[in-house]
Amino acid sequence: MKYKILCLLAIIAGAITGCQDSFDYEKEKEAIIKVINRETDAYLERDFEAVYATHVHDSLNMRLTAGADNYVFLEGWDEVGRHLISDETEDDLSPDLHISVKKFNYRMKIYPSTAFVVCDQKWISEYDDDVTEINSIQVRFLEKIDGEWKIAFVSWIGTSGYEEIEETEELLN
């Protein structure tokens, strides 16, 4: 009798485990990179509806932007959404600028319904003969909602524009 019960429990456990969705890390990584790139491309194209579609729209959506000269912290989708279409953003996206963005060196920790992502980014803008490169590190937290990855947190940390180490050492002496 014990043998039959153990066999029955093993069969039930196997059936339950077999019915669960399998977690394919590489597939999820590819989907996450795709949504991050979709958000960036839509932003550059000024397609804010498409940008909005890549985000979680709740009070805990946050954005932290920090560089050598300033920082901005926004909390809640209302603030984040307004910031994305602000006058400041329009200046960044002048039609006279040719902008290209490269993201690379992705580091991720992915779970079935959440992901923590870090990558490097190079933003290159060209206006006539003037070329500006801005390097940064991006930190993002994503949630999987109804089978789609959505951005819940973005941090952009500018790594360009800091004084050279030698100049800083001179100031300290």
Position 114 confidence tier, pLDDT thresholds 50, 70, 90? very high
Average pLDDT (59-80) is 93
Position 84 confidence tier, pLDDT thresholds 50, 70, 90? confident
The answer to whether residue 24 scores a pLDDT higher than 90 is yes
Question: pLDDT value at position 27?
Answer: 96
Domain layout of the chain by residue ranges: 23-161
Average pLDDT (13-36) is 80
* pTM as predicted: 0.77
**Architecture of domain 23-161 in CATH?**
Roll (3.10)
Question: pLDDT value at position 13?
Answer: 56
Question: pLDDT value at position 22?
Answer: 79
Average pLDDT (42-56) is 94
Bigger pLDDT: 43 vs 16? 43
Structure tokens at 134: 């801005």
The answer to whether residue 147 scores a pLDDT higher than 90 is yes
The answer to whether residue 105 scores a pLDDT higher than 80 is yes
Question: pLDDT value at position 41?
Answer: 95
State how far Cα 61 lies from the chain centre. Answer: 12
